[in-house]
Chain A
Amino acid sequence: DAGITQSPRHKVTETGTPVTLRCHQTENHRYMYWYRQDPGHGLRLIHYSYGVKDTDKGEVSDGYSVSRSKTEDFLLTLESATSSQTSVYFCATHRDGMTDTQYFGPGTRLTVL
């Protein structure tokens, strides 16, 4: 699992509140990704990072922002959570120069009431 941890693992919050999810990796991988998983949609890419302070948008980036101030940490922020952002969020990385295989964290289940 490339030493990937996510925190928190579960969170319940209310509409309109800010939420930050953390992904931490111990492998010094350059690339990190945030996905959301919803029934009937599989995994969809929210944002990704290709280095410290280097990030870009994915397929479903609206309502989300990210930050990468250290190689090991990739933060996903919901500035004002909405019920449509209720989902399971996964972080992933891959080894530098090998984009083939992604290693996933255990996921964070977020419920927005």
Chain B
Amino acid sequence: SQQGEEDPQALSIQEGENATMNCSYKTSINNLQWYRQNSGRGLVHLILIRSNEREKHSGRLRVTLDTSKKSSSLLITASRAADTASYFCATLMNYGGATNKLIFGTGTLLAVQP
């Protein structure tokens, strides 16, 4: 079963508006990451927040993490048409030994209208 579930599944906004996506997960994590996927392309890493962090910023991105609620949010401020993509959260879990594995959520499809 998926570790992460994004909400909403799809989001449509106007250019210049802010976009907020949420991710919920089930078990304890080492960190939580957000990836972006443009249509027909591979995933690109956006930002990582560790389990002992509550908020992190990178350019127009702001990520929060609430480990008590097992949830995270990704805020994209002042959105642009080029931000149109699918966004995935992924949790890093240790499966024993030296191998950690990323467990991906189902994604939020963001459409930014010009």
Is A16 engaged at the interface, CB distance under 8 Å to the other chain?
Answer: no
Q: Flag if B42 contacts A56 (CB, 8 Å).
A: no
Give chain A residues whose Cβ lies under 8 Å from the Cβ of B22.
none
Complexed CA–CA distance, A92 and B43 (Å): 9
Q: How large is the interface on A (under 10, 10 to 19, 20 to 34, 35 or more residues)?
A: 20 to 34
- Give B42 Cβ to nearest chain A Cβ, in Å: 3
Measured between alpha carbons, how far is A67 from B87 in the docked complex, in Å? Answer: 30
Interface assignment of A58: CB less than 8 Å from any CB of chain B: yes
Q: Which one of B31, B102, B106 contacts A41 once the chains associate, using CB atoms below 8 Å? A: B106
- The answer to whether B2 and A104 touch across the interface, beta carbons within 8 angstroms, is no
* Count of chain A to chain B residue pairs whose CB atoms are closer than 8 Å in the complex: 55
Residue of A nearest to B2 (CB): A42
**Is the CB of A62 closer than 8 A to any CB of chain B?**
no
- Report Cα–Cα, A56/B45, bound state, in Å: 24
B31 close to A43 (CB less than 8 A): no
Q: A100 contacts B105, CB within 8 Å?
A: no
Partner of B33 from the list A43, A45, A101, A104 (CB cut-off 8 Å) is: A101
Interface string of A27-40 (1 = CB under 8 A from B): 00001000100001
- Asked whether, in the complex, the Cβ of B100 is within 8 Å of the Cβ of A102, the reply is no
Residues of B close to A101: CB separation below 8 A: 33, 45, 48
Contact A100 B48 (CB under 8 A): yes
CA–CA, A103 to B102, complex, Å?
12
Contacting A at CB under 8 A, from B35-49, are: 40-45, 48
- Smallest beta-carbon distance A47→chain B, Å: 11
User: A56 vs B31: C-alpha distance in the bound complex, in angstroms?
Assistant: 22
- Distance between A58 CB and nearest chain B CB, rounded to angstroms: 7
Q: Can you give 6 contacting A-B residue pairs, CB < 8 Å?
A: A42-B107, A45-B101, A45-B102, A101-B48, A104-B42, A106-B42
